[in-house]
Chain A
């Protein structure tokens, strides 16, 4: 297995994308993608926690007692989630009021625990940091893509700015504001991206 930073990054971002390949982190993908601003802060939170928890776990991996490694990983992840929660609360209180419960739930995001156990606990700190960044970015890529469709169709805005000549052509798709809209978008994205990345044998 090659551990070149560029290969690890592309794997996390696309080839082994946590959302459409590994189907991880789905709860927040469905919950926070109806407004792009909320999505961006959620993505910041996940990238921050995935990267730094991967780095920290990798840094102390040789000292972590094997029997308590899961507890240690959760402890480290929870600390970074608390930090990111405080930062978002301070920088964007209005957005925190909406996504606050989901920021707390980053602790249970399978991507973070998955990367800590599968990658960071067996690799060196810098490459683990790259892997965390890549997985966070891969998660963000899909979330932002979904939000870029849901917000204009559901609210007629993008990042809170009204779309041009909205009154002439725009008609609200209420379903895009609601969670079922995210289900449809996620399914469409998964189908589209998997059809792009599937090996030839899979498509036959």
Chain B
């Protein structure tokens, strides 16, 4: 068969794709358990950091122990989504895993609210795929620290209870500064945080 013929090219590409695809799949399947464990450990560490504000590194077991000893957990089904809610046994603060669409892909994280839902106590991010150096800076402490003590204006319309970026009143107690150069990520974050806050408020009964 001639190397220039369409049949040869097609056959070559199909065989190559199958071989390389199998190789990648084999590596992925061999590490699937480790990846799951890593993801679980990361989630526990983020929950721990969000509730305690402690950035020191502990072992995955210590994170798990903190969660078991200090937090009550519940999962609510909302359509296809299962909303994970945590309540601190001592100070009664509420935390929940939020999710929303960022600039490139989904952003997930945990937000901690005071027991009366009037203020935000902390926010930490679990996963995102925002632009490194720009949108990815939502993870930086200088950004997340702005949320500590942030007032939620429950009397405002749904999209304006928490404002990320500019507002008519620059000193508003429910506003945090956006990230310079990452306007779209900041706008998206502000929009879905407000939606998520409304969801959590209507799903906190009996907790």
Q: Enumerate chain B residues within 8 angstroms of A82, measured Cβ to Cβ.
A: 24, 27
Give the number of chain B interface residues (Cβ < 8 Å): 25
B28 within 8 A of partner (CB):
yes
In the complex with contacts A75-B16, A101-B132, A102-B132, A83-B23 CB distance below 8 A? yes
B-side contacts of A60, CB under 8 Å? 16
* B20:A75 contact, CB within 8 angstroms: yes
**B residues near A67, Cβ cutoff 8 Å:** 4, 9
- B12 CB contacts on chain A under 8 angstroms: 63-65, 68, 72
Contact A86 B20 (CB under 8 A): no
Expressed in whole angstroms, the minimum distance between the Cβ of A53 and any Cβ of chain B is 11
Whether the pair B9, A68 counts as a contact (CB closer than 8 A) is: yes
At the interface, yes or no: A6 with Cβ under 8 Å from chain B?
no
B2-24 vs A, Cβ < 8 Å mask (1 yes, 0 no): 01100011001100110011011
A86 in contact with B132 (CB, 8 Å): no
Given contacts A67-B9, A86-B31, contact A179 B132 (CB under 8 A): no
A75 in contact with B9 (CB, 8 Å): no
CB of B3 within 8 A of CB of A66, answer yes
Question: Which residues of A have CB within 8 Å of B39?
Answer: 93
Would you call A90 and B34 a contact (CB within 8 A)? yes
Q: Tell me the residues in window 37-66 of chain B with beta carbons closer than 8 Å to chain A beta carbons.
A: 38-39, 41-42
Question: Is residue A124 contacting chain B, with contact meaning CB distance below 8 A?
Answer: no
Chain A residues with CB below 8 A from B136, complex form: 101
The CA of A67 and the CA of B9, in the complex, are separated in Å by: 9
Q: Mark A59-78, 1 if CB is under 8 A from B, else 0.
A: 01001111110011001100
Q: Is A89 an interface residue (CB 8 A)?
A: yes
Q: Say yes or no: is B199 at the interface (Cβ < 8 Å to chain A).
A: no
One of B16, B20, B31 near A90 (C-beta < 8 A): B31
- Contacting pair A86 B28 (CB below 8 A): yes
Contact yes or no, B28 A65, CB < 8 A: no
In the complex, are the beta carbons of A65 and B8 less than 8 A apart? yes
| Residues A86-135 near B (CB distance < 8 A) | 86-87, 89-90, 93, 97, 101-102
Q: Does A149 contact B (CB under 8 A)?
A: no
CB distance from A112 to the nearest CB of B (A): 15
A172 within 8 A of B: no
Residues of A contacting B41 with CB < 8 Å?
93
Q: Is B24 a contact of A65 with CB atoms below 8 Å?
A: no
Q: Smallest Cβ distance from A114 to chain B, in angstroms?
A: 21
Q: In the complex the two chains form, what is the Cα distance from A83 to B31 in whole Å? A: 11
Q: B163-174, CB under 8 A of A: which get 1 and which 0?
A: 000000000000
Residues of B within 8 A of A65 (CB): 3-4, 8-9, 12
Apart from A66-B4, A68-B13, A72-B16: 16 A-B pairs, beta carbons within 8 A: A31-B132, A67-B4, A71-B13, A79-B24, A82-B24, A82-B27, A83-B23, A86-B24, A86-B28, A86-B31, A89-B35, A89-B38, A90-B31, A93-B39, A97-B42, A102-B132
Closest 7 CB pairs between A and B? A79-B20, A93-B38, A90-B31, A90-B34, A65-B9, A101-B132, A83-B27
Write 21 A-B pairs (CB below 8 A) sorted by A numbering. A65-B4, A65-B8, A65-B9, A65-B12, A66-B4, A67-B4, A72-B16, A75-B16, A75-B20, A76-B16, A79-B24, A82-B27, A83-B27, A86-B31, A86-B35, A87-B27, A87-B31, A89-B31, A89-B38, A93-B39, A101-B136
Using a CB–CB cutoff of 8 Å, the interface residues on chain B facing chain A are 3-4, 8-9, 12-13, 16-17, 20-21, 23-24, 27-28, 31, 34-35, 38-39, 41-42, 129, 132-133, 136
